[in-house]
């Protein structure tokens, strides 16, 4: 390549990678699979090496891809959070070792760890207490996500020893099962699904509302010590052991050895990666000796003592035989690509969801196309792209149906949603899917009532809704295909047992839009009975922590529908439990309808403790002062919220006054 051509290509690659980095790191919306992104980066690295006259400090190869989001307070990292250089084969791993060996000797020992595909965080502890948590950002400045990190249960807020100063680095991730569950819920709600667990984790941790983070079932692994006072550690293995002693979640699946033993260890991961419940995009090879690390130092972007080994992309090529449309329990119409069966990441794939109309149009998937597929998060089959050169001339753009494919009723797409919905609440598909949900484990948990049994019950006219389940008789069940006397007896017993389930399970089972397992528990604890919940007004619901206007409006609408009232009455007459227990006495809801804003450091209460006191008594805690603010709770060293409260004449109280209000 001529220098002029190289300069043009380098500039084009830098611009393209910058756009991809912004989408991946800052918007949590990847535009390309990792494997295709890596190809572009490797091309840029090779060109910059061949034509050093065009190197630039502003190149993506010289800096970390992210930046701090201005919605969050900035945190300047005490130690720069570097990214890792990549290796893709055994030769590149040996080259990495040879470069290190020239500086510190050939007897290096390494630690091989899984490279968690999540969001990097740095957490600081002072005197054993969690002080601040920040994202990586651009490696120098990150985002303050302390409140959200404190919602990740596996991350300790207090250490067993009062270490004067400790800063650790790790990765917050979303387990594969939680990712699949979240995407299913988002699609049922008409929301766009997350592309993969990494983006789901990043989007969840970077929420302005920490209660959303708490609902997303995030987890974490801590894998490095950035700074520690009063502890002398000589190896990475010793550091991992220390982290484990301090209560941090440390990944146990690491291996040690010389470079050849590490290369052999990589082979074991080709199958193991599909057996774990979290997504990894490779492995990390680290020098074990910490003194050798200091001597090796780092480049502007990456340490010389570590290398990320990237797995070969597990993709496959197949054909789209048809595009069908399914109907979910909330009436959402979901396009599904029917594929020629192909083996991908440990299983045969014959179908792949296309999620919604927008994604079908964006990817331009058509019947007859040859497509490249993979498993998003090693879980969900996904079409990456079609191959233009192999598209048949007869292929036409796919159109979502204007009527429900199950019942023929009109389908509509609301302006704020990505999904089309069937308008018929009595649609057989919605009823069937609703029954599937009703009997599921987190709902009424009726053991033995699977899809095949439910389909037979519907086809034989034995059930038309979920309440009919509780009126089934053993003699009716015995007549079903593959249902003997013993099986029928067991199923009747399981149905009877499910009547005793807590009220929270029933509220989840009813399929009220936006009310799932967690919201069901909150509502059951707050109201204590389905009768009291039915009477609740929108105003009474929106003041409950974690029940926003969207959920509240859905609850009110559900209990105003005569068909739903009749269904609940029928369930009650069958003996299904309709009562819970008030975890919070209603007479204690002295802050109901009031909004508090906290600023500064309180004398004895932490911010979370003060928030819990307010919310337990029906109050709401907001992050900003407005005309709707009832009280500003003032501590030492207040910020601009104090000035705003004075300007708006908001009543200002201190910790002593708060305790007086609650009777302490």
Q: Residues 3-62: name the CATH superfamily.
A: Helix hairpin bin (1.10.287.610)
Per-residue pLDDT tens digits for 73-116: 889 998 999 989 999 889 999 999 999 999 999 899 999 999 99
- 38-47 mean pLDDT: 82
Say whether pLDDT at 164 is over 90.
yes
- C-alpha 580/C-alpha 365 separation (Å) is 49
Predicted confidence band of residue 283 (pLDDT cuts 50, 70, 90):
very high
Q: DSSP assignment of 608-644, as one string?
A: HHHHHHHHHTT-EEESS--TT--EEEE-BS--HHHHH
Stretch(es) of the chain classified as CATH 2.40.50.140: 316-413
For residue 235, the 8-state DSSP code is: B
Higher pLDDT, 342 or 35: 342
Higher pLDDT, 661 or 35: 661
- 286-299 mean pLDDT: 94
Q: Which of 74-78, 114-118, 270-274, 295-299 has the lowest mean pLDDT?
A: 270-274
- C-alpha 557/C-alpha 536 separation (Å) is 11
Predicted confidence band of residue 584 (pLDDT cuts 50, 70, 90):
very low
Diameter of the chain measured on Cα atoms:
85
Fold adopted by 74-310: D-amino Acid Aminotransferase; Chain A, domain 1 (3.30.470)
* pLDDT for 106: 87
Per-residue pLDDT tens digits for 484-511: 899 999 999 999 999 999 999 999 999 8
CATH number for the 586-661 domain, one of 3.40.50.10190, 3.40.50.1970, 3.40.50.1220, 3.40.50.720?
A: 3.40.50.10190
Q: Which of 10-14, 168-172, 189-193, 319-323 has the lowest mean pLDDT?
A: 189-193
Say whether pLDDT at 588 is over 80.
no
Per 3-state DSSP, the chain is made up of helix, strand and coil in percentages (nearest 5) of 40, 20, 40
- C-alpha 62/C-alpha 55 separation (Å) is 9
- 228-257 mean pLDDT: 95
Contact 587, 572 (CB under 8 A): no
Instruction: Taking each helix axis as running N to C, give the angle between helix 549-559 and helix 562-573, from 0 to 180 degrees, rounded to the nearest 10.
Output: 70
Q: Name the active-site residue from 76, 115, 286, 627.
A: 115
Stretch(es) of the chain classified as CATH 3.30.470.30: 74-310
- C-alpha 240/C-alpha 252 separation (Å) is 9
Instruction: Domain 316-413: give its CATH code.
Output: 2.40.50.140
Alpha-helix residue ranges (DSSP H) falling in 474-606 = 474-478, 485-498, 503-509, 517-527, 530-535, 538-542, 549-559, 562-573
Contact 327, 430 (CB under 8 A): yes
Stretch(es) of the chain classified as CATH 1.10.150.20: 428-498, 503-573
Say whether pLDDT at 582 is over 60.
no
Q: Which of 293-302, 521-530, 655-664 has the lowest mean pLDDT?
A: 655-664
Per-residue pLDDT tens digits for 444-497: 999 999 889 999 999 999 999 999 999 999 999 999 988 889 999 999 999 999
* pLDDT for 67: 55
Say whether pLDDT at 14 is over 90.
no
Q: Residues 428-498: name the CATH superfamily.
A: 5' to 3' exonuclease, C-terminal subdomain (1.10.150.20)
Stretch(es) of the chain classified as CATH 3.40.50.10190: 586-661
- 567-585 mean pLDDT: 81
Bridge-based pairing of strands 306-310 and 86-87 is parallel
Higher pLDDT, 49 or 588: 49
Q: Provide the CA 193 distance to its chain's centre, in angstroms.
A: 10
115 tagged catalytic: yes
The answer for residues whose C-beta is within 8 angstroms of residue 455's C-beta and 6 or more apart is 432
| Percent of the chain predicted with pLDDT > 90 | 48
Predicted confidence band of residue 236 (pLDDT cuts 50, 70, 90):
very high
Alpha-helix residue ranges (DSSP H) falling in 384-535 = 428-438, 451-459, 474-478, 485-498, 503-509, 517-527, 530-535
Predicted confidence band of residue 29 (pLDDT cuts 50, 70, 90):
low
- C-alpha 228/C-alpha 159 separation (Å) is 13
Q: Which CATH class is domain 503-573?
A: mainly alpha
């Amino acid at each position: 390549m001529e220098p002029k051509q190289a300069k043009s290509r380098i500039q084009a690659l830098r611009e393209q990678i910058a756009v991809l980095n912004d989408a991946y790191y800052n918007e949590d919306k990847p535009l390309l699979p990792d494997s295709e992104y890596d190809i572009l980066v490797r091309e840029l690295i090779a060109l910059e090496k061949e034509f050093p006259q065009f190197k630039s400090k502003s190149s993506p190869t010289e800096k970390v891809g992210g930046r701090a989001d201005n919605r969050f307070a900035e945190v300047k990292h005490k130690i720069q959070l570097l990214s890792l250089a990549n290796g893709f084969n055994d030769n590149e791993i040996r080259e990495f070792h040879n470069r290190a060996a020239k500086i510190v000797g050939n007897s290096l020992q390494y630690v091989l760890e899984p490279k968690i595909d999540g969001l990097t965080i740095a957490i600081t502890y002072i005197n054993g207490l969690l002080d601040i948590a920040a994202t990586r950002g651009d490696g120098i400045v990150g985002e303050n996500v302390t409140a959200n990190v404190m919602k990740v249960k596996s991350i300790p807020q207090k250490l067993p020893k009062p270490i004067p100063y400790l800063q650790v680095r790790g990765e917050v991730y979303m387990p594969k099962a939680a990712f699949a569950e979240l995407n299913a819920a988002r699609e049922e709600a008409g929301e766009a699904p997350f592309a993969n667990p990494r983006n789901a984790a990043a989007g969840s941790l970077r929420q302005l509302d920490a209660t959303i983070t708490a609902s997303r079932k995030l987890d974490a692994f801590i894998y490095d010590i950035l700074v520690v006072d009063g502890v002398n550690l000589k190896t990475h293995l010793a550091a991992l052991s220390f982290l484990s002693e301090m209560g941090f979640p440390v990944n146990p699946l690491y291996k040690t050895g010389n470079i050849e033993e590490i290369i052999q260890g990589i082979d074991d991961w080709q199958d193991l990666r599909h057996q774990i419940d979290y997504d990894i995009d490779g492995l990390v090879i680290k020098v074990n000796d910490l003194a050798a690390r200091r001597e090796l130092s780092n480049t502007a972007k990456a340490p010389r003592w570590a290398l990320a080994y990237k797995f070969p992309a597990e993709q496959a090529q197949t054909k789209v035989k048809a595009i069908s449309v399914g109907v979910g329990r909330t009436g959402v119409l979901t396009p599904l690509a029917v594929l020629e069966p192909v083996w991908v990441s440990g299983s045969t794939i014959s179908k792949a969801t296309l999620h919604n109309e927008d994604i079908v149009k964006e990817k331009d998937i058509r019947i007859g196309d040859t497509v490249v597929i993979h498993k998003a998060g090693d879980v969900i089959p996904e079409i990456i792209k079609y191959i233009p050169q192999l598209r048949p001339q007869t292929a036409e753009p796919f159109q979502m149906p204007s009527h429900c494919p199950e019942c023929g009723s009109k389908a509509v797409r609301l302006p704020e949603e990505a999904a089309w919905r069937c308008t018929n609440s009595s649609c057989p598909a919605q009823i069937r899917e609703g029954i599937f949900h009703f009997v599921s484990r987190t709902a009424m948990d009726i053991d033995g009532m699977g899809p095949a049994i439910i389909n037979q019950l519907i086809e034989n006219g034995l059930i038309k809704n979920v309440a009919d389940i509780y009126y089934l008789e053993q003699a009716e069940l015995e007549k079903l295909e593959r249902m003997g006397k013993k099986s029928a007896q067991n199923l009747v017993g399981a149905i009877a047992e499910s009547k005793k389930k807590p009220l929270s399970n029933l509220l989840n089972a009813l399929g009220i839009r936006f009310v799932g397992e967690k919201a069901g528990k909150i509502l059951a604890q707050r109201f204590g009975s389905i009768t009291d919940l039915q009477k609740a007004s929108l105003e009474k619901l929106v003041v409950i922590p974690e029940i926003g206007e969207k959920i509240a409006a859905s609850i009110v609408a559900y209990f105003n529908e005569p068909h739903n009232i009749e269904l609940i009455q029928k369930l009650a007459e069958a003996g299904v439990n309709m009562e819970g227990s008030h975890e919070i006495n209603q007479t204690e809801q002295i802050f109901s309808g009031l909004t508090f804003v906290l600023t500064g450091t309180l004398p004895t209460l932490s911010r979370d403790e003060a928030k819990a006191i307010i919310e337990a008594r029906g109050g709401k805690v907001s992050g900003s002062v407005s005309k709707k603010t009832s009280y500003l709770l003032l501590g030492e060293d207040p910020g601009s919220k104090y000035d705003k409260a004075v300007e708006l004449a908001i009543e200002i109280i201190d910790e002593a006054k708060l305790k007086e209000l609650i009777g302490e």
